[in-house]
Structure 1
Amino acid sequence: MIMKRIEQIILIVSFILFSWLGMQAVHELGHVLGALASHAEIEHVALHPLIISRTDIGDNPHPLVVVWAGPVVGAALPLCAFLLAIVCRSPGVNLFRFFAGFCLIANGAYITFGSSEGGLDTAVMIQNGSPRWVMVLFGILTMPLG
């Protein structure tokens, strides 16, 4: 009984840590795809479990495309993977569900409650004309789905 509980705790903790890194990877993938689509210059992508990930962009003709692609892809791609897992009757569909929910909540909360200062996505959004209400709406749509 105790060993079973320890195994459950190890699974939960390890999957939360995986979800944190996976969420950052999918979010940064969104920025990279947005940069490629808008012909922005990608200088560096920082992804490590012990840091907050970031994508450094040089010349950026369409900053709103790049900055919004992160949370949009970061929320939508895991959700699509979960839906595909359901359709394909994948084993471990609950892990897909958890990861999709984690990404929806994390991206929604980040955009809704993020600071308007510093180099965060939310600051870039505001500096480039994204209305705050659109950012809040993003969170209203994504967080409850998570």
Structure 2
Amino acid sequence: MLLTHEIGHLVGGWCGGATLVDVDLAPWRMPYSIHHPDPHPRLTLWAGPLLGVIVPVGTAILVQGHKTRRQTKQQTQQPTRRQAWRKWAWLVADFCLLANGTYLAIAWVACDRFLDTPRMLAAGVSPIFIAAYCVVTVSVGYVRFRNDCVVFFSRRESSNSSEGSSIY
């Protein structure tokens, strides 16, 4: 999530003609990018959360691909490697959906001037747009990610419990 989100800021800044001054994408600390001058700060700032969702969801859609009749019949049988990749891709995409919305909502409450939401408000983004983005991404992301986790972990538990019961 952090990588696609921050790369979104980089792409937005590049598209808007901003000059990149500093960037840090290290996974062990909070990534950031600083653009100065930035002629279109709203584009740079919105590109992070938008591409932070569009890239993972688009990747999951591409991984899902087109299903044939044969593949549909196989779904009732043993899961294939491709089906496992599909589930993982959607798990990651749904997490990114939830995480991007949650990040903007928490940044709004935290009021730290270096986080995205206060910077968006300072750049003139309407709070209604930010709130709408947060409501949609958090609600849809939560429901989808929760369902992904329930399916993923319940399958693991049921397969483990059936293996354990067959031993005795």
The TM-score range, normalised by the shorter chain, is 0.7 to 0.9
Shift of 1:55: 0.8
Amino acid paired to 2:95: F
Q: Which moved more, 1:129-138 or 1:27-36?
A: 129-138
For 1:47, give the aligned amino acid. L
**What residue in structure 2 maps to residue 96 of structure 1?**
89
Q: How far apart are the structure 1 equivalents of 2:111 and 2:15?
A: 25
Query: Residue 113 in 1 paired to residue 106 in 2?
Result: yes
Superposition pairs of residues 1-146 of structure 1, within 5 angstroms: 23-87=1-65, 90-91=82-83, 92-114=85-107, 115-146=110-141
- TM-score scaled to structure 2, two decimals? 0.69
Question: How many residues are treated as equivalent by the alignment?
Answer: 124
State how far apart, in whole Å, the 2-side matches of 1:133 and 1:141 are: 12
Q: Offset of 1:88 from its aligned partner?
A: 5.1
Judging by fraction of residues, say which structure has more helix: 2
Normalised to the residue count of structure 1, the TM-score between the two structures is 0.79
**1:44, 1:99 → 2: CA distance?**
28
How far residue 145 of structure 1 moved from its aligned partner, in angstroms, is 2.6
Q: Percent identity?
A: 28
Q: Quickly say closer, same or farther: Cα 1:87–1:130, change in 2 above 3 A.
A: same
Q: What is the alpha-carbon root mean square deviation over aligned residues?
A: 1.4
Question: Which residue of the partner structure matches residue 20 of structure 1?
Answer: none
Equivalent residue of 2:18, what SS? coil
- Structure 2, gaps ≥5 residues long: 68-81, 142-168
| Aligned AA (2:103) | Y
Kindly state the Cα deviation for residue 117 of structure 1 after the two structures are TM-superposed: 3.1
Aligned equivalents of 2:15, 2:9: Cα separation in 1: 10
Q: Tell which deviates more after alignment, 87-96 or 114-123.
A: 87-96
Cα deviation code 1:90-118 (max 9, x no counterpart): 45111111110111111111112313332
Asked if the contact 1:116/1:126 (under 8 Å) is kept, the reply is: no
Q: Distance in 2 between matches of 1:29 and 1:43?
A: 15
